[in-house]
Amino acid sequence: MNRPRLFLFLLPLCLSSCIKPHKPAAVPAEPAPPPAVSTLILPVHVPLAELRAYLDAHLATQPGAKGIYWVSGMPLASPVGNLHLQLGIHRAAPVGFSVAGNSLLWHIRLAVNSGRLDWDTGRVVRVSHHFEFGGGAALTGTTSLTVLPDWTLKSATSTSLNWTQNPWIDLNPPFGHIKVSIADKVQPKVAPLLASAGAKIDQAVAGVPLRAMAAKGWAALGQPLQLSDNPKAYLRIVPLAAGFGGIEGQGDDVVIKTMFSGRLIASLGPDAGSVPTPLPLPENTVLPGNPGLDILVSARADYAEMKRQLEARLADKPITLPGGRTISIRGVEFGAQGKRLLVTVRFRLKSGFFLLPGVSGTVYLLGTPRYDNDTRRLFIDDFDFVPETEQYLAQKADWLLHGVFVSAIQKHLDFDFHAQVDPLFARLRAGVSQVAVAPGVTFSASFKELRLSGIHVGQDALFLQAHAVGDGRLDLSP
């Protein structure tokens, strides 16, 4: 285009001095997807070492008079003559504990030792016979645990004695066959022991301050947990509910699994944010699903910082249009337009004639934020004028509709997320071990999966979102 024709082309634009299509109608940013509900375990230990020591002390392993029970010369009424009983009972194996459902099972093997029956056959002709015998029994206790809605821990213990080898003697007098059972002589002697052991277990359970321990763990959930120092990264937990998750055996302990559900967000930020007032421990309730963490990991790109970077990149890079005209970028703004990113570009077109001031303008473009996981860079895809701007330019300034202008802006819409993503993701991949959340409360977690889920267009920032999936727990210390 020669200079006279260019002059005539620019003259009406310069007289109007501004290209300004209507700003598109605002479409509010969509609400950010909430974090999934996660479940943390707070194990409360009921030590069984004291109970085991008690049972060991009261259930002796020695045979004879030093055992659990001993009797010698006990007369037994019999139609066949005088019977005298001797027997001892001792513990035949270590006390065993196991867990079934919400019950603690304890098993004690008993054995008969030194069992002998002396039989005096008559008064005129006295003939004595001596019969030895043995026997075995399983002493079993079942302690059922229940947690009431107010977190009161209750237990109920029942016990039983079952003979695995019944102690009895076959007698063969002249007038028939007699089978003499000894079990009924042993049962009354063991019954007080069963009751004592059951009471001891109930006493141990009653001494566990479950409510106080659950309340301590619950109060710690509202405290932000610092994941890294450079850059600052925090884990925030929004607690939802608490419930009893059953029991399990761990060595010499029974572990009561206290469960907390909540929404967890890991994000970068200069500070921990406001610390909410601890909520009182809610009632014990049934929590849905299985224990596990699904943490929403969020890395933020503020529009203000994106604006600063883009304006700096375009400050000394005028855009040359077909025909040789140049456009300089005067400023940019970012905002949400529903799920997409609205980019406002202010520019100035040089007239090329000293008598003409040039043309200022503002245009609006839309794009879809994308993320490259390999390069950890954020870029804008599907980038073009909004329909209203495109229609306006077709009538007033179709020279801007060439792809040169849009492409020149788009190639600089590229933002490095290394500094945010790498430290936070590396910290999560390494797991979290015994990090203090509050005095006497630590948090631990391990993650088996870390996956990207997308980019959320917020009102004042873009949020790169990922999910860290694994398991987590709280632990209490004195």
Domain locations along the chain? 48-206
Written as six digits, the tokens of 266 are: 């890991």
What whole-number distance in Å separates Cα of residue 468 and Cα of residue 267? 12
Per the document, the length of the chain is 478
Per-residue pLDDT of the chain (478 residues; tens, 9 = 90+): 455 554 444 444 443 458 889 999 999 999 988 899 999 999 998 887 877 887 787 788 898 888 888 888 888 766 666 778 888 888 898 888 888 888 888 888 988 888 787 777 655 544 566 667 778 888 888 989 999 999 999 988 888 888 887 776 665 555 445 566 667 767 777 778 778 878 888 888 888 899 999 999 999 988 888 887 777 888 888 899 999 999 988 877 889 999 999 999 988 776 655 556 678 999 999 887 677 999 999 888 899 999 999 999 999 889 988 878 889 999 999 999 999 999 999 999 875 544 445 688 999 999 999 999 888 899 999 999 999 999 999 998 888 888 899 999 999 999 988 877 888 888 888 888 998 888 999 999 999 998 888 899 999 999 999 999 999 999 998 7
Please tell me the predicted confidence (pLDDT) of residue 274: 58
Specify the CATH number of the domain 48-206.
Answer: 3.15.10
Please tell me the predicted confidence (pLDDT) of residue 353: 47
* 184, 167 contact by CB (below 8 A): no
CB atoms within 10 A of CB 405: 21
- Peptide bond between residue 33 and the one before it cis (omega within 30 degrees of 0): no
SS3 432: strand
**Strand blocks (E) in 303-425:** 319-320, 326-337, 340-349, 359-372, 377-385, 414-416
What whole-number distance in Å separates Cα of residue 354 and Cα of residue 197? 105
Please tell me the predicted confidence (pLDDT) of residue 193: 74
Place of tokens 């005539």: 8
pLDDT in tens, 199-247: 888 888 888 899 999 999 999 988 888 887 777 888 888 899 999 999 9
What whole-number distance in Å separates Cα of residue 89 and Cα of residue 15? 115
Please tell me the predicted confidence (pLDDT) of residue 325: 82
Please tell me the predicted confidence (pLDDT) of residue 33: 86
Angle between helix axes 183-206 and 49-58 (nearest 10 degrees) is 160
Please tell me the predicted confidence (pLDDT) of residue 268: 75
* 418, 446 contact by CB (below 8 A): no
* 448, 470 contact by CB (below 8 A): yes
Q: What is the DSSP string of 106-147?
A: EEEEEEEEEEEEEEE--SSS--EEEEEEEEEEEEEEEEEEEE
Please tell me the predicted confidence (pLDDT) of residue 328: 93
**Strand blocks (E) in 166-302:** 168-171, 178-181, 225-228, 233-250, 253-268, 293-302
**What are the start-end ranges of the H helices in 286-416?**
303-314, 387-396, 403-410
Please tell me the predicted confidence (pLDDT) of residue 111: 87
User: CA end-to-end span of the chain, whole Å?
Assistant: 85
Please tell me the predicted confidence (pLDDT) of residue 410: 96
What whole-number distance in Å separates Cα of residue 378 and Cα of residue 60? 73
pLDDT in tens, 388-409: 999 999 998 888 888 899 999 9
Residue 439: closest CA among 145, 290, 220: 220
CA distances from 434 to 229, 283, 444, 451 (A): 16, 27, 5, 24
